[in-house]
Amino acid sequence: MTKVSILTHSFLDAYNNKIDKVYGGGLERYLYELCLILKGMGVEVEIHQLSFNDSFRTQLETTDLEGTVIYGYFCDDLEKIPDIFSEMSSKASGKLIYASCIWHPIHYKQDSLGICHGINWDRVDLAISMKDHVKENVQRALNSLRKIVSVDSHFLSYCRSTCFYEDNEKVELIPNFVDTKRFTPSAPSSPDGSIKLLFPRRISHERGIILMMAATDILLDRFPQLEIIFAGETIDHTPLSSAFYYWMNTHPHKTKIRHQVYSFDAMPKVYEQADMAVIPTIFSEGTSLSCLEALSAGLPIVSTNIGGLNDIIIDGYNGLLITPTVDRLVASVSELLQDTEKREEIASRARETAEAFDISIWKKRWGRVLEDYL
């Protein structure tokens, strides 16, 4: 049997030392589905990831991927990531897929595959010297890897504009996916006239949690019928998660703020119960799974113009696309709250957009890449 090892920074929840479950983020969901494709091809898969507690070796107990072995490598310093990836590659079996950290100075095993899940150095406040290092590291990846799969057009454009490589197929664009059969439109019923605004993201800086908290303060003052639902993972005992919980528990409108972590299987129901969604990423975004899921569920969306979100949302057509500022976020959400006709018009085009990203398309494209690689 052919064997493939996936090297990544996260899969099981090694942030919170809960390695009995897959962490509820887009990367982890992506890798889970990629493992299913490989398994369907008769390929044995193992995963090597960072661990921020102890090193570990465990197996998945889920029905679909039961028995898949996961190795965790202790990481107490992000500067050690290149060395840890070298250790992973030396211990991994079979062919390798580097599924994250393309921007780090990793020594790749030649002729392997890579995946870029979105540019994470698209921060206006990141030092020029750091951005220069990223360019060097991406060039290293292009020199070493057989192919890099990019989930959005922005990494592809970045490589074409800043790096040198002769093979136009070195970077292949395969946008992210949504299962349109699972995420379907519904007509949420709110007898009390409330409107539920969904933030289906991890509680993290790059996903715009501070931006969303600031906007929530203003929006709940203006719109008494509004409820805000935060549906995403936290990393416990960090300053950001502590601040979020304190803010939520002491908020003057705390009865209209809800936070819960949902499993992948539970998320379709969460979208069904929402009236709108907001994707306020401030940096580091591919073709967001949560954005695609919200579209598939027929929700009107306010999204920032970061990374791969520009590949999904057409401003004024299937959502509102904004610069990531509190003022723009509040203004756009307010516009849709006050204009029911516009909200419904935008929502009517959401589902059609999602169908262009159906998971069946993604599986076919990845299947071709893997057949060639294996």
Residue-level pLDDT at 345: 95
Distance CA 51, CA 268 (A): 29
266 Rama sector, left if φ>0, alpha if ψ -120 to 50, beta otherwise: alpha
CATH of 3-177+359-373, one of 3.40.50.2000, 3.20.20.70, 3.90.550.10, 1.10.3720.10: 3.40.50.2000
Whether residue 336 is predicted with pLDDT greater than 70 in this model: the reply is: yes
Whether residue 208 is predicted with pLDDT greater than 70 in this model: the reply is: yes
pLDDT digits (tens, 9 = 90+) for 291-334: 999 999 999 999 999 999 999 999 999 999 999 999 999 999 99
pLDDT band at residue 217 under the 50/70/90 scheme: very high
Whether residue 274 is predicted with pLDDT greater than 90 in this model: the reply is: yes
Whether residue 177 is predicted with pLDDT greater than 80 in this model: the reply is: yes
CB 282 within 8 A of CB 211: yes
Collapsing DSSP states into helix, strand and coil, what is residue 329?
helix
The DSSP output letter for 43 is -
For every residue of 225-283, DSSP letters joined together read TEEEEE-----TTSHHHHHHHHHHHH-TTGGGEEE----GGGHHHHHHT-SEEEE---S
Residue-level pLDDT at 355: 97
Matching residue, tokens 């996260």: 10
Question: Residue 149: beta bridge partners?
Answer: 115, 172
pLDDT digits (tens, 9 = 90+) for 55-83: 999 999 877 999 999 999 999 999 999 99
User: Under CATH, which architecture does the 195-355 domain have?
Assistant: 3-Layer(aba) Sandwich (3.40)
Same CATH fold, 195-355 and 3-177+359-373? Answer: yes
What's the whole-number mean pLDDT along residues 39-48? 97
- Extents of the domains making up the chain: 3-177+359-373, 195-355
Whether residue 191 is predicted with pLDDT greater than 90 in this model: the reply is: no
Stated pTM of the model: 0.96
